[in-house]
Chains A and B, each alone.
Chain A
């Protein structure tokens, strides 16, 4: 079955960097667009970024544009989120999620990981 396992979260000081990973299994990773979504403590969901199945296109939320970079390694079935210039407001659980459609993008989040927690604090 589809499995997504995030890692790389932790406590980091403002202004520093962190890289999250999402290991995928149970499906053909290279056929699906992938998303990052975050949820601040006690708050709602915020979409962060998306990458096409082949890495050809990437889009970001305005709140992270220029600071975060989404990427993927289809040979390793792994999705990444490089987070630079971190701010307190980036504190959240970060989920990776698989898009609904293979070979394209439906912008629908069918399968989710359990999340990894990022805390930005001095």
Chain B
């Protein structure tokens, strides 16, 4: 099973600043990496897939990069609505499964 490890567990950033979240896979997942945002009491929302493709309606301040085992989600200028928990997800084709990272909580500094 592929293990996804996110860092840091909690990130404190001021509004308007840049946030950089990391995700590492225990083995290569190529570019089969997605990012989700989850706010308290809500379902997750797909932000990024294919490591760097924004989902429909996702603002341009969200960007993803990386391939293989190292990935990054960058939020260029934090807005108040961006403070949430972020999960990375790998979607390796075999064995067919999805695994998530443990999440990074992005909080207001």
Does A pair with B? yes
Name the interface size band of chain B.
20 to 34
Among A7-15, A17-25, A41-49, which stretch is in contact with chain B? A41-49
Tell whether B36 is near chain A: CB-to-CB under 8 Å: yes
A59 and B46 contact, Cβ closer than 8 Å, known pairs A44-B102, A107-B91, A108-B91: no
Contacts of A100 in B (CB 8 A): 46, 49
CB pair B99–A47 under 8 Å, yes or no, is: yes
Q: Which of A69-122 contact B (CB under 8 A)?
A: 95, 97, 100, 106-110, 112-115
A81 to B99 Cα, complex, angstroms: 19
* Chain B interface SS verdict (over half): loop
Interface string of A33-68 (1 = CB under 8 A from B): 001010000001111001000000001011000000
B100 partner, pick from A47, A95, A112, A115, beta carbons under 8 A: A47
Among B1, B34, B87, residue most surrounded by chain A Cβ atoms (within 10 Å): B34
Contacts of B102 in A (CB 8 A): 44
A37 to B87 Cα, complex, angstroms: 13
CB pair B91–A106 under 8 Å, yes or no, is: yes
Tell whether B101 is near chain A: CB-to-CB under 8 Å: yes
A47 to B99 Cα, complex, angstroms: 7
Among A35, A108, A110, A113, residue most surrounded by chain B Cβ atoms (within 10 Å): A108
Contacts of A113 in B (CB 8 A): 43
CB pair A110–B91 under 8 Å, yes or no, is: no
B43 partner, pick from A59, A108, A114, beta carbons under 8 A: A114
Tell whether B108 is near chain A: CB-to-CB under 8 Å: no
CB pair B87–A47 under 8 Å, yes or no, is: no
User: Shortest CB–CB separation between residue A6 and chain B, in angstroms?
Assistant: 10
CB pair A109–B100 under 8 Å, yes or no, is: no
Tell whether B55 is near chain A: CB-to-CB under 8 Å: yes
- Give residues in B with beta carbon < 8 Å to A: 1, 32, 34, 36, 38, 42-46, 49, 55, 87, 89, 91, 93, 95-103
Instruction: List, sorted by A's number, 17 A–B pairs whose CB atoms are closer than 8 Å.
Output: A37-B98, A44-B101, A45-B38, A45-B87, A45-B103, A47-B97, A50-B98, A95-B43, A107-B96, A107-B98, A108-B89, A109-B34, A109-B36, A109-B46, A109-B98, A112-B43, A114-B43
